[in-house]
Amino acid sequence: MSLSVTCCGTGPPIVVLHGWGMNSSIWQPVVPALSEHFQLYCIDLPGFGDSVWSSENDVSLESFVEQIMPALPPRFHLMGWSLGGLIATQIALTHSDRVMSLTTVASSPHFVESNDWVGIKPTILEQFQQQLDSNFKKTIERFLAIQAMGSEDAREQVKQVKQLIFTKPMPDQGVLKQSLAILQTADLRQQLPNIEVPFNRFYGRLDSLVPERAIDDISALAPESKAVVFTKSAHAPFISEPERFVSELLKLVEN
């Protein structure tokens, strides 16, 4: 099978999707606790980790969804981090009959800053695109540093994440570049009101990629959703505050 899926635990199924440049190992800090309550499906997105990009289509939210869905259980809770949150949102919009709840983590329906929207400065993502051609491992390491920026133990977090993700193969470079373009261009803002399943949103107060100021704007687009802010976290609250992360998820996701 071209898609790598690691399954553990017992209980209602929950599918977790990682972010750009990463793989499913990133979830290790919360896997033991989550697997006590859920049957946990950790996916390597196509082209990342041990998964192969097997679609003939270009890299897009739709082509990610097309490759992931056949490997998933009939009904499941769904959680996506960063880019994985965009893909999870697309799944919830197009396959609401199979999704029991949606939780996005440090994610945004539109990641890039504009006149009327708070987000990542476009120049940062443009620099990443250029650097991928010369040294893409170093580019991912720099992206990790930006993700941890602001948290109290940023250096330790970056070290921990590198140890986790570099246990698996590096991403397919073509998929890496094209999925970075998704972060630059995807815009699901107008579709958020169409989400029909219970919708939870987790954020890090210190996140520079999805700034705290964006939270209220996203809440306005999805007024039925619930937002949780992790005060000591930047872009990866499940790494910086794993116990609280699991506790908040269990409060919101029916067991």
Q: What residue ranges do the domains of the chain occupy? A: 5-252
Lowest mean pLDDT among 51-55, 145-149, 244-248: 145-149
- Average of pLDDT values for 80-105? 98
Whether residue 69 contacts residue 2, with contact meaning beta carbons closer than 8 Å, is answered with no
Helix 136-148 and helix 122-132, axial crossing angle in degrees, nearest 10? 150
Element (H, E) at 128: helix 122-132
Domain at 5-252, CATH class: alpha beta
Count Cβ atoms below 10 Å from residue 252 Cβ, excluding itself.
16
pLDDT at 86: 98
Cα dihedral 148, 151, 154, 158 sign: negative
User: pLDDT band at 1, cuts 50/70/90?
Assistant: low
Whether residue 180 contacts residue 143, with contact meaning beta carbons closer than 8 Å, is answered with no
Q: Residue 149 above 80 pLDDT?
A: no
SS3 103: strand
- pLDDT tens column, 179-202: 999 999 999 999 999 999 999 999
> Which are the catalytic amino acids?
82, 207, 235
3-state DSSP helix/strand/coil percent for the chain, to nearest 5?
Answer: 45, 15, 40
